[in-house]
Amino acid sequence: MKALSQRRRHPLAAAALLLIGLVATGGLYTAAGSVNEAKASTVYTASDVEEGNKLFVANCATCHGLNAEGTPNGPSLVGVGAASVDFQVGTGRMPMQMQGPQAQAKPVQFSDEQIVQLSAFVASLGAGPAVPHEEWLDTSLGNSANGGAVFRTNCAMCHNAAAAGGALTRGKFAPSLDGVSEAHIYEAMVTGPQNMPVFNDSNISPEEKRDVITFLKEIESQGSPGGAALGSLGPVSEGLFIWTAGLGIIIAFTIWLTSRSS
């Protein structure tokens, strides 16, 4: 016991314990990183990275710099990950048609293969969110009720409770989510494009993200069973419509009455 007590008081004991703690923490971090990497749906090759670099230099370097380090006209892409490229390029927002408050969705300018190559190149520049695995996009495994609760808590204030979109400040807006693919919805949550915050796995778990996608696809499939959606703004747009239409009918009826008496 005395020898053990002496070893505990050794001057290097504290340093040894600290080293063991650091090694254990690093091991756990590496293991967690390996799990996250396993969720990626695409394995990139050296050829993908090379071809992506060529596409980047020809189409993106003007704004983002030859090494994607950023310029006054475009941010750095180091560390944004493949998911960001797949979303921005896959929805046609990039390359931007013109400078403005935010990038507009438009017809896609690149093929699926080229998007993969651009994603591979940007992913090679630094660690970032990967393109999600199909497991997290399968709505048959999702819980729509829970997804609706998560959406209303975190997303409805900008995108509207019916995901119809809404106006923001200074010419910006939250787009409608109708018709957006499962992959792009997931990628938007993990990358935070435009004015959207980033919802990493600590904020909203992958299972909850899948639930949100399930909810959005369910309301998308339902359409508008009650008739004209009127922007899905509820009593605001409905009341305005009734007021405007009713007032118009009254004015028309008044004109008709006065024309008959004359």
Quick one: residue 165, left, alpha or beta (phi over 0 = left, psi -120 to 50 = alpha)? Answer: left
Instruction: Give me the residue spans of the domains in the chain.
Output: 46-123, 134-227
Q: Is the pTM of this model over 0.75?
A: no
Average pLDDT over the chain reads: 84
Please check if 184 is assigned to a binding site. Answer: no
CATH class of 134-227: mainly alpha
Q: What is the pLDDT of residues 5-18, one digit of tens each?
A: 555 555 656 666 66
Q: What is the pLDDT of residues 120-167, one digit of tens each?
A: 999 999 989 999 999 999 999 999 999 999 999 999 999 988 898 888
Read off the pLDDT of each residue in 216-220 and give the average, rounded to a whole number: 93
Read off the pLDDT of each residue in 192-214 and give the average, rounded to a whole number: 94
Please check if 63 is assigned to a binding site. Answer: yes
Report which of 102, 103, 101, 81 is spatially closest to residue 92, judged by C-alpha positions. Answer: 103
Q: Would you say domain 46-123 falls under CATH 1.10.3720.10?
A: no
The two tokens of residue 183 are: 């992959």
Please check if 133 is assigned to a binding site. Answer: no
Q: What is the pLDDT of residues 4-61, one digit of tens each?
A: 455 555 565 666 666 677 667 666 555 444 444 434 556 899 999 999 999 999 999 9
Read off the pLDDT of each residue in 169-195 and give the average, rounded to a whole number: 93
Query: Where is 45: in which H helix or E strand?
Result: none
Report which of 195, 184, 175 is spatially closest to residue 101, judged by C-alpha positions. Answer: 195
- 3-state DSSP assignment of residue 170: coil
What residue type is assigned to position 27 of the chain? G
Q: Is the pLDDT of residue 91 over 80?
A: yes
- 3-state DSSP assignment of residue 208: helix
- 186 neighbors 209 (Cβ within 8 angstroms): yes
Q: Name the band, by pLDDT with cuts 50, 70 and 90, for residue 252.
A: confident
Asked whether this chain's domains 46-123 and 134-227 adopt the same fold, the reply is yes
Please check if 64 is assigned to a binding site. Answer: yes
The two tokens of residue 81 are: 């990950």
Specify the pLDDT at position 22: 67
